[in-house]
Amino acid sequence: MTRKEQLARTRERLLDATVECLVTYGHAHTTTQRIQDAAGVSRGALLHHFGSKSEVLVAAIHHIAQIRFDSISSTLSELDDGPDSLREMVRAIREAMTGPPFQAALELWAASRTDEQLRAALLPAERRLGEALREMFHLHAGIADPQDETVAFESLMALVRGLELTRNMRSTSDVADRVVEAWLESVERLRSA
């Protein structure tokens, strides 16, 4: 492995460790020492890539957005315009808004409310992801009216984010699944209009 490849691999390990720490400890208790330990690297290796907790968190924002985007786009690239395309798209978006990358993103969203540096890094990454999701939604939703499409997209984003945020308060996914099904039924009416 070349030096450049080793550096890239170490950086990736540090960013993955940051996601792990955000999920395990939350933003407030994620420290550079915990990130270093989780990545299994020396202090010097951490400092070579990131000089502070803020720097590693800013890089993690882009890392997390890319993971989420890759997850969605790999699934959606296989979709056609068949009758189940909307349902499959919603499933892909829902899956991308669960699990450790999304949980880490939630931690960073909350922290960015009072941290201008995080917010400045978070907004472009989330906007890029949001634009890509919006474009994918446009391709597969089949809603003719642009205003109806915008409302359907924004309500889907709010719905899946809220369901994931409150997931640990439910004992089963039955209610969440029924809520998504109700959303799909309402959007089906827009598709046939």
| Average pLDDT for runs of 10 along the chain of length 193 | 93 97 96 97 95 92 87 75 80 83 90 91 88 86 91 94 85 88 91 72
**Residue 57 identity:** L
The span from the CA of 49 to the CA of 8, in Å, is 10
In this prediction, residue 151 carries a pLDDT of 95
97/90 Cα distance (integer angstroms)? 10
Q: Give the per-residue pLDDT at 193.
A: 64
In eight-state DSSP terms, residue 167 is G
Amino acid 47: pLDDT: 95
**Residue 123 structure tokens:** 């907004």
DSSP 2: -
pLDDT for the residue 126: 86
